[in-house]
Amino acid sequence: MNIVKIVIAGPRGKMGSEAVKLVQETEGYELVAVLDHKNDGGMLSEFPGFSGLDIPVFADISACLKASEPDVLIDLTTPEVGMHHTKTALQYGVRPVVGTTGFTKENLKELEELCHEKGIGAIIAPNFALGAVLMMKFSQMAGKYFNDVEIIEMHHDQKLDAPSGTAVKTAEMIAEVRETKVQGHPNEKETIEGARGADYDGMHIHSVRLPGLIAHQQVMFGASGQTLTIKHDSYNRASFMSGVKIAVDTVLKIDTLVYGLENIIE
Ligand SMILES: NC(=O)C1=CN([C@@H]2O[C@H](COP(=O)(O)OP(=O)(O)OC[C@H]3O[C@@H](n4cnc5c(N)ncnc54)[C@H](O)[C@@H]3O)[C@@H](O)[C@H]2O)C=CC1
Ligand SMILES: O=C(O)C1=N[C@H](C(=O)O)C[C@H](O)C1
């Protein structure tokens, strides 16, 4: 069996720590290094919660990739750091699997071009939970028939980006099939700014942030005399890991950028 050598960026984070467990527990995967802005030159085992994991820690991605020569980089950090890591990985011929959200359209275009230039694949998935991917696909199906849509995403209050990557991706997928419409009353006015949420092609996106939440989204469609609500909840970060594994296994076989897990699950 060929061993897949993996680097994880953000190993102490809520998602990164789950990804460390996934890699450790998966036969055929080997965690060869981690990227963290703290403890450069040290070992992962020196951080609380990682005892016994004598995996080298690097702060600089170039140094990390040169020393550890991985096949795949899993990035679970922040948008700016994630973009830098993803670009650098591709430049070194390392295939990125990116869960980090907040990438712009321009970021995606640049990465797509870099994949093309280097002839290697990358996967950027705003949501790795298979239920969330289905929620997005079902919403796209509904968007063909209902063009009044409100997306309500609800997350823990430590989340940096709003709207969530999942909400943006959902709106993009619906927009591919929905007849464009400016929703609500033509003369509606916000008496408190932001009351109607963000506007994507006339659809509204509302971002709720509360302690106690993990990751939840409802997509509401309305038409005369009826509403349809499609809802998904992640109650823990383990819910994302089967999707991370699918992405790692797939990224080794592709040579383009894939944005969204819905493009690779059958
Ligand atoms: N695609 C998906 O299914 C999911 C994506 N996410 C996204 O993943 C990202 C991480 O989320 P969480 O784990 O909840 O956040 P977190 O805040 O718990 O973890 C982020 C980690 O990044 C690390 N970090 C910051 N700068 C760094 C650098 N220069 N080098 C290496 N590591 C660095 C931090 O130390 C922290 O441990 C976010 O963008 C979030 O939106 C979260 C859940 C699911
Ligand atoms: O930050 C999170 O927690 C999550 N981020 C992703 C997003 O922005 O959609 C995926 C999931 O919703 C959890």
Q: How far is the CA of 158 from the centre of ligand 1 (A)?
A: 10
What average pLDDT does the segment 213-218 reach? Answer: 98
- The number of the ligand 1 atom at minimal distance from the alpha carbon of 61 is 30
Mean pLDDT score of the chain, rounded to an integer?
A: 97
Angstrom distance (rounded) from CA 240 to CA 102:
17
Which residue out of 84, 137, 159, 245 is catalytically annotated?
159
Number of C-beta neighbours around residue 55 at 10 A: 21
Q: Write down the pLDDT at residue 157.
A: 98
**21 catalytic per annotation:** no
Is the shortest distance between the CB of 155 and ligand 1 below 6 Å?
no
Q: How confident is the model at residue 266 (pLDDT cuts 50, 70, 90)?
A: confident
Convert the pLDDT of each residue in 5-48 to its tens digit. Answer: 999 999 999 999 999 999 999 999 999 999 999 999 999 999 99
Distance, CA 13 to ligand 1 centroid (Å)? 6
> What's 143-183 look like in SS3?
HCCCCEEEEEEEECCCCCCCCCHHHHHHHHHHHCCCCCCCC
Q: How far is the CA of 127 from the centre of ligand 2 (A)?
A: 6
pTM check: above 0.95? yes
What's the whole-number mean pLDDT along residues 128-153?
A: 98
258 forms beta bridges with: 123
| Best residue for ligand 2 mutational test, from 166, 239, 241, 261 (most atoms within 8 Å of Cβ) | 166
Per-residue model confidence (pLDDT) at position 135 = 98
Question: Please, what are the domains in the chain?
Answer: 4-124+238-263 (3.40.50.720), 130-235 (3.30.360.10)
Taking the C-alpha atoms of residue 40 and residue 54, their distance in angstroms, rounded to an integer, is 13
Q: Considering 155, 169, 204, 206, which one is annotated as catalytic?
A: 155
Give the whole-angstrom CA distance, residue 179 versus residue 232.
24
Question: Closest ligand 2 atom, CA of 160?
Answer: 1
Check pocket membership of 215 for ligand 2, CB cut-off 6 A.
yes
Active site annotation includes 155 = yes
pLDDT exceeds 80 at position 82: yes
Task: Read off the pLDDT band of 1 (50, 70, 90).
Answer: confident
